[in-house]
């Protein structure tokens, strides 16, 4: 106090004199007034020139060192923080000392001057002080304040934790770690004393009405940082529990409690009637802070959930609590845009790239549909988020195949989609019911959420919003027809490679698909399956035909198909040796007798043949493709064939034949002795070589994987062939046309009931093929007939 006094009297001698001279009261009122004014000016200049700079000098002192401090974490930074902490404490303490002195002096002065409104002059003093301090605010003062409060928060948090955890916590901490609160050895823990200091400082700041101005920003920043950290520590990666309630309790228990302590330290220490005004004011401040912070918690938690939404989608049924939480947050804050953007980019990064299997993308897509639908029943988010997935899947050629496979595949355990399919027709009724719902239930109608891209919304069709998962998946392609024709191809492939007469599983799938997609689209498939059943009957009939059975050399069973209803086959064929062809003749004859007026066209390359090969002293039993059987059959009579000779005999192009030969080469029965010359090996190969060769395995290698059906693009072209005569007519009359015109005109015909859908790209492929065949000329962007 002595130092303060000497400092003060040095800077304003008048004040000292005035206060000392007891005869001041005797002066006239004018003089008193004058002296009073002068004194105020003196106090003002003292505060400005001495008090404020002294206070701030504690802060400036640390400017250079303060850089460390934001890094946090490291021991050095922590040490620095404590240093700044003490600085701050000292600064506030000395400021308070001056302030108290000036205040008492002022009180004395007021007494002498017989001023009644002491409160007013006190307020004036406070204002003077505040303005003086704030006008000289150094740039880095926040660092110091921040250090102070982060230490303060840590101490508080530590104490809070140890009281809530009780004795256990202390046991844990005894492993030589410094106390988390005060960074001291545990035995010398100073948390309690620190807490006291902190409270004192806070109280002084409240007295000076400086707390909010000086520390508000740092405090908010600090608290927000803590909240973020806390959310990250407690909630990251855990989706199967709801966190929201815990977070809010934590906020209430820890953060708000601490803020209370900061603001209310005075009230709690001195609950006088005089301070109730202050108290209610700070309660207000805390209340408003609490609201803000609660929202901050909501927002940050929601953001953290959104960031991890991809993982949530993947774990979907288990991650429901997290989605529930997010739902609550979304009611409070508008986060749709955030969700859409984050989710879109994370989906793109995680599944929409060439490194992911189509099957996995589909699984992700289905999971996303489920999860997002759970989150937002209006379907707007779903629509927007899944648009890129759909677009991407559309570009993959095997998408439809994957969808169909996962719809119908039940061997490797039911997939999501096959389960959905098995749920049956409930959905079909649902879509019907929905229309009624919308009309009768109009009171509950809700507008679409706003604030989203409007273009997306207008394009969306209402039905697709309420559509089920399978429709969403089928919707990838936009048309059921395309999807169903792909199913037909798949079914045909499966039936032709299995070549078995028990399609129960396929029939069940077909029935399920029929329930969903309607009979008419699947009519072809139904005929296909009926062909299988019919073939079984016909075969058994023919096999009981004595005239046939007596003559036959080997068993023939056949799948007899109604070609019109099957996808078109590819154009491969093989010429059978006469003996074999005769056998088929016999079979055909028997069929013709059974079914009057009908005959059979054999598709020689498809099927499977059981043969046994006697080679020297070995007998090999194998099941092979017809082409391979024919090849080896020809080697019976002639040990050596040139590729060209054999090619003309079996009517297979040499390049294809060479590939087929590879099968026998891999079995070590035929070798290519010279280029283009194939030779049978009668002798057994040396043992070592033989072991490498899987002779008795019944394999047909990649033959099985080759589809017997024409490829999709071939089929497409066949469809467009219908239009060729129209195109010729058009170009004859109009000489030359750009592709857009041709497409437009053909669409007119197509809409007249030919029922072929095609895009301009399809047409372009078709026309380009015609250009290659020299039927058309393409130049300058227009097509012309070749003359």
Partner 1 sequence: MKVTIKSWMGVASWRWIANDENCGICRMSFESTCPECALPGDNCPLVWGVCTHCFHMHCIVKWLNLQTMNKQCPMCRQAWKFNFH
CB of 332 to partner 1, least distance (A): 58
The one segment of 24-32, 218-226, 270-278, 584-592 that binds partner 1 by CB under 8 A: 584-592
Report the C-alpha gap between 366 and 377 in whole angstroms. Answer: 15
Segment contacting partner 1 by CB under 8 A, of 13-21, 360-368, 613-621, 654-662: 613-621
Nearer to partner 1, 349 or 563 (CB): 563
Write down the least CB distance from residue 490 to partner 1, Å: 17
Q: Are 330 and 336 in contact (CB under 8 A)?
A: yes
Q: Identify which of residues 464 and 721 has a Cβ nearer to partner 1 in the complex.
A: 721
Q: Decide if residue 594 touches partner 1 (CB under 8 A).
A: no
Residue 394 CB, shortest distance to partner 1, in Å, is: 32
In the block, residue with structure tokens 């020297």: 616
Check residue 527 for interaction with partner 1 (CB under 8 A): yes
Closer to partner 1 at the Cβ: 546 or 612? 612
Q: Where are the alpha helices (DSSP H) in 114-210?
A: 118-135, 141-165, 167-173, 191-207
The phi, psi pair for 366, rounded to 5°, reads -65, -45
Q: Which of 341, 463, 553, 721 binds partner 1 (CB under 8 A)?
A: 553
C-alpha to C-alpha distance for 672 and 681, rounded to whole angstroms: 10
Chain-centroid distance of CA 165 in Å reads 39
Q: Which is nearer to partner 1, 82 or 633 (CB)?
A: 633
- SS3 label, residue 641: strand
Q: Is 699 in the site for partner 1 (CB under 8 A)?
A: no
- When asked if residue 573 is in the footprint of partner 1 (CB under 8 A), the reply is no
End-to-end CA distance of the chain: 116
Q: Which of 36, 40, 633, 726 binds partner 1 (CB under 8 A)?
A: 633
- Residue 586 C-beta: closest distance to partner 1, Å: 12
Nearest to 770 by CA among 725, 735, 705, 708: 725
Q: What torsion, rounded to 10 degrees, do the Cα atoms 649, 653, 655, 660 define?
A: -60
The answer to the question of residue 600 lying near partner 1 (CB under 8 A) is: yes
State the CB neighbour count (10 A cutoff) for residue 125.
19
612 binds partner 1 (CB under 8 A): yes
What is the spatial distance between Cα 644 and Cα 136, in angstroms, rounded to a whole number? 101
Q: How far is the CB of 479 from partner 1 (least distance, A)?
A: 23
Query: Using CB atoms within 10 A of its CB, is residue 451 exposed (0-12), middle (13-18) or buried (19+)?
Result: exposed
Nearer Cβ to partner 1, position 34 or 554? 554
- Which helix (H) or strand (E) element contains residue 777? strand 776-779
The least CB distance from residue 552 to partner 1, in Å, is 10
Tell me which of 390, 595, 659, 716 binds partner 1, using CB under 8 A: 595
Residue 640 near partner 1 by CB under 8 A: no
565 lines the binding site for partner 1 (CB under 8 A): yes
Count interface residues toward partner 1 (CB under 8 A): 56
Which stretch, 8-16, 347-355, 541-549, 600-608, contacts partner 1 (CB under 8 A)? 600-608
Does the protein bind partner 1 through residue 184 (CB under 8 A)? no
CB closer to partner 1 out of 334 and 540:
540
Nearest partner of 339 among 320, 366, 313, judged by Cα: 313
Piece in contact with partner 1 (CB under 8 A), picked from 98-106, 178-186, 425-433, 608-616: 608-616
Q: Are 711 and 570 in contact (CB under 8 A)?
A: yes
Task: Enumerate the β-bridge partners of residue 642.
Answer: 677
Q: Does 562 bind partner 1 (CB under 8 A)?
A: yes
CB contact burial 504-514 (16+ within 10 A = b; e otherwise): eebbebbebbb
Enter the tokens of residue 19. 């206060």
Among 342, 333, 323, CA closest to 244: 323
Q: Which of residues 161 and 553 has its CB atom nearest to partner 1 in the complex?
A: 553
598 binds partner 1 (CB under 8 A): yes
Interacting residues toward partner 1 by CB under 8 A: 496, 499, 523, 526-527, 530, 534, 553-566, 580, 583-584, 588, 591-592, 595-604, 606-615, 626, 629, 632-633, 635-636, 680, 682, 708
């Amino acid at each position: 106090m002595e130092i303060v006094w000497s400092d003060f009297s040095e800077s304003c001698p008048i004040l000292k004199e005035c206060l000392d001279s007891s005869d001041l009261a005797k002066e006239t009122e004018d003089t008193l007034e004058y002296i009073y004014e002068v004194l105020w000016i003196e106090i003002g200049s003292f505060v400005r020139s001495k008090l404020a700079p002294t206070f701030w000098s504690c802060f400036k002192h640390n400017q250079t060192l303060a850089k460390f401090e934001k890094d946090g974490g490291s021991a050095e930074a922590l040490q620095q923080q404590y240093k700044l902490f003490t600085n701050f404490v000292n600064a506030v303490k000395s400021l308070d000392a001056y302030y108290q002195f000036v205040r008492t002096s002022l009180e004395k002065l007021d007494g002498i001057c017989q001023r009644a409104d002491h409160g007013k002059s006190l307020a004036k003093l406070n204002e003077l002080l505040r303005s003086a301090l704030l006008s000289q605010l150094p740039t880095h003062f926040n660092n110091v304040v921040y250090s102070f409060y982060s230490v303060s928060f840590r101490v508080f948090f530590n104490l809070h934790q140890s009281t809530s955890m009780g004795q256990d916590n202390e046991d844990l901490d005894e492993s030589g770690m410094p106390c988390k609160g005060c960074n001291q050895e545990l035995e010398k823990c100073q948390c309690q004393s620190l807490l006291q200091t902190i409270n004192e400082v806070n109280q002084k700041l409240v007295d000076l009405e400086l707390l909010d101005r000086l520390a508000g920003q740092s405090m908010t920043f600090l608290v927000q940082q803590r909240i973020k950290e806390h959310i990250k520590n407690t909630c990251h990666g855990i989706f199967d529990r709801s966190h929201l309630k815990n977070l809010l309790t934590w906020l209430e228990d820890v953060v708000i409690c601490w803020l209370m302590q900061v603001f209310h330290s005075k009230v709690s220490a001195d609950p006088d009637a005089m301070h109730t005004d202050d108290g209610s004011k700070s309660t207000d401040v805390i209340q408003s802070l609490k609201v803000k912070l609660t929202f901050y918690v909501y927002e940050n938690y929601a953001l953290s959930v959104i960031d991890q939404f991809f993982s949530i989608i993947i774990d979907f049924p288990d991650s429901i609590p997290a989605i529930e939480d997010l739902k609550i947050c979304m009611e409070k804050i508008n986060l749709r845009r955030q969700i859409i953007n984050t989710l879109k980019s994370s989906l793109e990064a995680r599944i929409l790239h060439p490194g992911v299997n189509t099957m996995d993308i589909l699984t992700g897509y289905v999971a996303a549909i489920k999860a997002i639908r759970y989150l937002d029943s209006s379907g707007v988010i779903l629509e927007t988020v899944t648009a890129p997935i759909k677009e991407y899947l559309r570009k993959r050629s095997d998408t439809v195949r994957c969808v169909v496979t996962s719809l119908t595949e039940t061997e490797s355990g039911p997939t999501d989609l096959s389960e959905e399919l098995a749920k049956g027709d409930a959905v079909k009724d649902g879509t019907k019911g929905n229309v009624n719902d919308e009309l009768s239930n109009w009171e509950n109608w809700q507008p679409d959420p706003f604030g989203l891209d409007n273009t997306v919304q207008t394009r969306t069709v209402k039905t697709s919003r309420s559509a089920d998962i399978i429709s969403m998946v089928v919707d990838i392609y936009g048309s059921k027809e395309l999807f169903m024709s792909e199913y037909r191809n798949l079914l045909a492939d499966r039936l032709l490679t299995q070549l078995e007469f028990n399609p129960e599983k396929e029939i069940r799938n077909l029935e399920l698909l029929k329930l969903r997609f309607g009979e008419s689209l699947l009519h072809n498939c139904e005929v296909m399956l009926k062909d299988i059943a019919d073939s079984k009957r016909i075969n058994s009939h023919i096999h009981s035909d004595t005239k046939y059975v007596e003559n036959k050399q080997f068993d023939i069973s056949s799948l007899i198909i109604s070609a019109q209803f099957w996808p078109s086959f590819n154009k491969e064929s093989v010429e059978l040796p006469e003996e074999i062809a005769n056998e088929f003749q016999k079979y055909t004859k028997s069929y013709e007798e059974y079914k009057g007026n009908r005959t059979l066209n054999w598709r020689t390359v498809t099927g499977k043949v059981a043969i046994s090969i006697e080679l020297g002293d070995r007998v090999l039993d194998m099941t092979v493709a017809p082409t391979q059987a024919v090849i080896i059959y020809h080697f019976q009579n002639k040990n050596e064939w040139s590729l060209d000779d054999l090619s003309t005999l079996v009517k297979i192009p040499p390049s294809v034949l060479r590939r087929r030969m590879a099968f026998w080469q891999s079995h070590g029965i035929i070798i290519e002795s010279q280029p283009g010359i194939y030779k049978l090996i009668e002798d057994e190969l040396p043992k070592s070589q033989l072991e490498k060769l899987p002779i008795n395995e019944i394999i047909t290698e990649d033959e099985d994987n080759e589809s017997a059906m024409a490829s999709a693009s071939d089929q497409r072209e066949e469809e467009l062939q219908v239009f060729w005569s129209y195109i010729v007519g058009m170009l004859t009359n109009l000489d030359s046309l750009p592709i857009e015109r041709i497409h437009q005109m053909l669409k007119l015909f197509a809409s007249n009931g030919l029922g072929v859908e095609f895009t301009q790209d399809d047409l372009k492929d078709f026309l380009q093929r015609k250009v290659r065949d020299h039927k058309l000329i393409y130049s300058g962007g227009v097509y012309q007939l070749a003359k």
